[in-house]
Structures are given as C-alpha cells and as structure tokens.
Homo-oligomer: A and B are copies of this chain.
Amino acid sequence: MTTGVRRRMGVEERRQQLIGVALELFSRRSPDEVSIDEIASAAGISRPLVYHYFPGKLSLYEAALKRASEDLAARFSEPHEGPLGARLLRVMRRYFDFVDEHGPGFAALMRGGPAVGSSATNALIDSVRQVAYEQILAHLEITEAPARLELVVRSWISLAESTALIWLDGRRIPRGELEVQLVHDFAALTAVSAAYDEEMTALVKRMVQDEPAEGPFADLAARLIALAG
C-alpha cells in the first residue's frame, strides 16, 4: 500500500486491485454508502488515480459486479456424480457462502438500490441466473426443457434469491436450515407441477430413482406423509 508498490503495478493489476478493494468494502457496507475516496484510501492511492482506472463509480461498481458474478457462477459447478439432492445441497452451501461473504453488496444489488438498475448490471444478474438454469438442466440431463420444467427451474431460482435476501435481513434462521429447505423446495415445486402433468411426472420419477433412502428427498417425503397423517 506504499507509493513504491503503486509504481510497480501495471494497469490491469491496478484495476484488479481496485475491484478487490471495492468488493471488500461492499461486503461490509452497501455500495451506495461507499465513496470513491474510501476506495482510494483503502487501495493506498489518490482519488484522481482511481478515476484514471475507472471513469466513474458506476464503472468500478460494474467491474466489481462482473468479478462477483463470475465467482458466483463458478460456484454452481458441481460434478455430475451421485444423487441429485446431494449435488444441489452442495451448490446451496456454496451459494450461501457467497451470499454470506458479499452480504450488503448482494442485498443492495438484488433489491435494486440507486447505484444499480443499469442495463449492464441487469444483464450480469440475468447471466448468472442463466448459468444456474443451464446447470440444473444439465444435471437433470435435459437439453430441451418443456415449458413447465423451465417455469419450475426459473421460478425456483428466484425463490432461492429471495430466500437468501430474507436470510440476510437479520439472519433469524440458521443458514444451514435454509440450504436444505431450498433443496426440498425444488423437489416440492417440481412435484406440484408433476401432480397435474404427465411429462413432469416422468421427469420426477427419473429424478428420484437414484435418491438414497437416507437422502434429503426421502426424508422430506417421510416427514410430509407424517404431517398429512
């Protein structure tokens, strides 16, 4: 953080450093509350020099968001091995890790604060949603999703977003419980759709055929039957 270090940094290296500093600040306070002065100070450079690398706060914000989006999308990767419920649960754990690490920045972005809402930020959010959607279809080994499956998967993704946002607001429910709940929610929403559609019924039967008797789906089913009784 000395000027000696500054002189040795190349343009791209400096840009990456500023993005890292910004993300670190956004993980503790909403981006709206973080000034360019603070970012400059935390990076050990002058305010005008920040503007040399990023023409304005929005462009730095968008670059930070881009890195965070790539980070999140990478966490959706999961080997195509073992029961589907356990795979989804591992992804949910990494998703909540991300939400936990980026708390205020994630909340401000998804709630649509004054600093956001640009076409670029909306496109980035949608690209992460699309990665999540395609990953789920790939795990289900489906290339062309029927309309009802697309609806279930995409609407479940928005359920996962709102669940994470509500969790961040006070953290009143242990996150581990919500990670399991979202896996169960996926199964439940799929089952509701399947209850009235033959194509979805066939899909659900294929989904659960490799689930172990002690897995999250079987446990949920047993508890729901007990609840109904």
Give the B-binding residues of A (Cβ under 8 A): 111-114, 116-119, 122, 147-148, 150-151, 154-159, 161-163, 166-167, 170, 172-173, 177-178, 180-181, 184-185, 188-189, 191-196, 201, 204, 220-221, 223-225, 227-228
Q: Is the CB of B228 within 8 A of A221?
A: yes
- The chain B residue sitting closest to A184, CB to CB, is B192
Q: Is the CB of A161 within 8 A of B158?
A: yes
Q: Is the CB of A191 within 8 A of B155?
A: no
Q: Is the CB of A193 within 8 A of B166?
A: no
How many of these chains are in the complex?
A: 2
Question: A111, A156, A163, A181: which has the most chain B beta carbons within 10 Å?
Answer: A181
Among B122, B157, B194, B224, contact of A191 (Cβ-Cβ < 8 Å)? B224
Q: Which residues of B contact A122 (CB under 8 A)?
A: 111-113
Q: How far is the CA of A158 from the CA of B188 in the complex (A)?
A: 16
Give chain B nearest CB distance to A32 CB in angstroms: 10
Q: How far is the CA of A113 from the CA of B178 in the complex (A)?
A: 31
27 A-B pairs with CB atoms under 8 Å apart are: A111-B122, A112-B117, A112-B122, A117-B117, A147-B170, A147-B172, A151-B163, A151-B166, A151-B167, A151-B173, A154-B162, A154-B166, A155-B162, A155-B166, A157-B162, A158-B161, A159-B189, A184-B192, A184-B195, A185-B192, A188-B189, A189-B189, A191-B224, A192-B220, A192-B224, A195-B220, A195-B223
